[in-house]
Amino acid sequence: MSKTLIVELGCEELPAGSVKPMSTALASTLSAALQSAKLLAVDTAPTAYATPRRIAVSVPAVAAQQADQTQTRTGPAVSAAFGEDGAPTPAALGFARSCGVDIEALDRVTDKGGERLAHTFTQHGQSLEDWLKDALPGLIDNLPMPKRMRWADGDAAFLRPVQWLCVVYGDTPLRVDALGLSSDEHSRGHRFHAPAALAISQADAYADTLREQGHVEPEFDCRCDDIRTQVQALADELGGTPVLPDALVEECAALVEKPVAIAGRFDDAFLSVPKEVLIQTMQDDQRYFALLDSRGELMPAFITISNIASRNPETVRQGNERVIRPRLADAKFFWDQDSQTPLGSHVSSLKSVVFQKQLGTLHDKTERLVRLSRFVSGEIEADQVLTERAARLSKCDLMTQTVYEFPAMQGIAGRYLIHNEGESAAVADALEQQYHPKQAGDETADGIIAQVLAIADKADTLAGIFAIGQKPTGAKDPFGLRRAALGLLRTLIERRIELDLAELFAAAADGLRAQLDDSTRAMDALPYTLERLRSYYTDQGIDSVIVDAVMACNITKPIDFDRRVHAVASFLTLPESDALAAANKRCRNILKKSNSQPSDVDPSLFTEAAEQALGDAIESTRGQVDAHLASSDYNSALQSLAALREPVDSFFDHVMVNTDDDTVRANRLALLAQLSTLCSEVADLSELSR
């Protein structure tokens, strides 16, 4: 018979970032160990529980006892086990002694090494309790934790002092020693609402017992849902929309055992500060949820998550309002100071901040951005005056007190400050959006001036770091080049910008000459950036075979690459695609083995109707393909190639390429070379046949 096993470690308050990961780790390692020990009756998933004061796991269908197992232990070969007189040798006697039996009790088995002595015995299974006594201390000790501590005068070490250990199997408490404690059936409820010991009479009732008697919600995700529900309800009462980032919800869930949402307010005067500063202050410093009105503007209110259901919630509200006031006052002070100084006045002070030792200061980077933005704007016909203005001011807000105190405000602070000075909206938006996309899933820059600056900023960083030989490794990417490369590609592709990366990095390399004697290695950024296209399209569900087929054409314009990828994906839906891809691969293989340079095709040397038909089809198709390529209509170009399927199949069915006549053979190889070239205009179709 199988029952549910519950194991709970009760701790002093754990760091918020470790609550869920440690409970998940305990659940997976304990379940895996039980399965390895053949103590799981069926393969079922464990349930992890996590609160600031406990990590626990419930494993269903656990057997009470390991099954007995018949095992056979082999010993020395029979030829070495007995002497010529039939007497057992020391090897045989030693084997029997190690098995705890007489020599006469040993069996004989035959394996690939010949006949050997053997001992067959029954290995009696352990009880679950005995197995846990051996296994649980090691499982706990191997849990991932950033740092361990000791407490009292014992040798036990854990992330935080462990106060109790509860192990219950079905309705039976198990006695297991770990971390200097002996387990029993007692858990603990909420530190304030139910501090006394709480008996877990049934392992299956663990969660319900904590909820009903302990005033604790043990499931992490349930607390997250409860927080979202309560915050939304209070926001609705206040007429606002809550800012509910998942990271903040999960952090609050890791800080409380029974969430209680409480709303508070702050002085309207603080609303003169950019809402992003106030939201960051509330979230990072106090774990508060901000509220937005119907226009998306910040409301002078917040919602906090308390760990107690206070008899006087007004006191709790007032306490939180009192705490947030000096935080917001600091933010307002920094902003007011920055607002008194024109943003452009910080340009000269950029000379005092090193961007990278070999690449110079932020001022040097700014000068390169001005130059590179000028090039990009010329290529995509953007306003050069505005792009140069945006590039000149792009890093100035890094010198403000606001960004110094709130680093996440880089770009955002610049947008507000320059907008307040009456600068154009295009320049103001560019100062913020130069960093877009900041992370996966973010939008790319949406204005043409912002796009120019975003492209220039990422290209300069990529080219510069590669130029000094500090390309990222598998483990280290201190300058965020992977993110920069993918952001550059996304901007060019998703905003449909016709810009060649080879030309872009060449311009960036040229701009580095003021800081570097040799900037040629900057071009190494080109293949690195193009390689990121693999992950970009894989994330969209596009087969890597398609990406490889297009990459074989050495396309350096991302938007052109994108058109080809989608055209090939569409081509693969045609019934002719597989046959044409296979034929093209066969064609490539024949040409590789020929070791001859293809010459011009001479139609007068055609001796077979099938080769004449293929030659005519290639000639007629080439004109269609060239016309479609001229307008970048790759879908139509590939559809034109589909018409080659029948003449290609007929050619390979009826024509011997490697004929004895050297002249005819060379002409047929030249015909195949033409076919191969034509089938590689959009993508290397031979790559599609794998």
Q: How far is CA 58 from CA 55, 166, 216, in A?
A: 11, 12, 16
pLDDT tens-place string over residues 23-38: 999 999 999 999 999 8
pLDDT of residue 653: 85
Q: How many CA atoms lie within 13 A of 60 on its CB side?
A: 8
pLDDT at position 675 is 86
pLDDT, one tens digit per residue, over 638-648 is: 888 888 888 88
525-543 burial by CB neighbour count: b if 16+ within 10 A, else e?
bbebbbebbeebbeeeebb
Beta strands in 478-540 (DSSP E): none
Q: For position 77, what pLDDT does the model report?
A: 87
pLDDT of res. 597: 65
Separation of alpha carbons 678 and 620, rounded Å: 11
Q: Is the separation of the CB atoms in 685 and 584 below 8 Å?
A: yes
Helix (H, G, I), strand (E, B) or coil at 317: helix
pLDDT (0 to 100) of residue 406:
95
The single-letter DSSP state of residue 82 is B
Identify the sign of the CA torsion 393, 396, 402, 404.
positive
**Alpha-carbon 112 to chain mean position:** 49
DSSP class of residue 88 equals B
Answer yes or no: are the C-beta atoms of 615 and 670 closer than 8 Å.
Answer: no
Per the rule left: phi > 0, alpha: psi between -120 and 50, beta: everything else, 296 is left
pLDDT of residue 504: 97
Weakly modelled stretches of the chain, pLDDT under 50: none
Question: What 3-state class would DSSP assign to 200?
Answer: coil
